[in-house]
Amino acid sequence: MAMKTYLGKMRGQRVKRARVGWQDACWSWFGTCTGMAVICLLSSAWLSQQLLIVGSFGATSVLIYAAPESPFAQPSHVLFGSMLSAGIGVACYQLLGTSPLSMSLAVSLSVLGMQLTHTVHPPGAAAY
């Protein structure tokens, strides 16, 4: 029964959403551009030997600036979900290296941890 319910949710239904106005779109662009520029500048100035720019920052920008009403875009989810996932990813890497098992455990344990702490932030799981 639980599996049938789960698979039914995955089918989903089309949701009609209001169109985004040009002013909101411009503010989203400005926020994304500014946020990514700051991250890039910090990365090149202080962490030139470390990789700070990852795909999850782009996905986080979409949530924060283009869908701020989303539960995944709330500050507690962005901060704690990302930090929790990064910690789990580092632990899996330290324990198991870059094996397929390590990668699958890092993502799946991140999802589990974020769900149990109510801090689900999808880009957080991409921080491995």
User: 12-60, pLDDT tens digit by residue?
Assistant: 655 566 787 888 888 988 988 898 888 888 777 776 666 666 678 888 8
> Within 17-78, where are the H helices?
22-46, 55-61, 75-76
Q: How far is residue 79's CA from residue 10's CA, in Å, rounded to a whole number?
A: 27
Q: How far is residue 9's CA from residue 28's CA, in Å, rounded to a whole number?
A: 30
Mean pLDDT of 99-104: 90
Pick the closest to residue 108 from 95, 89, 83, 81 (CA basis).
89
Q: Are 64 and 122 in contact (CB under 8 A)?
A: no
Q: Are 81 and 56 in contact (CB under 8 A)?
A: no
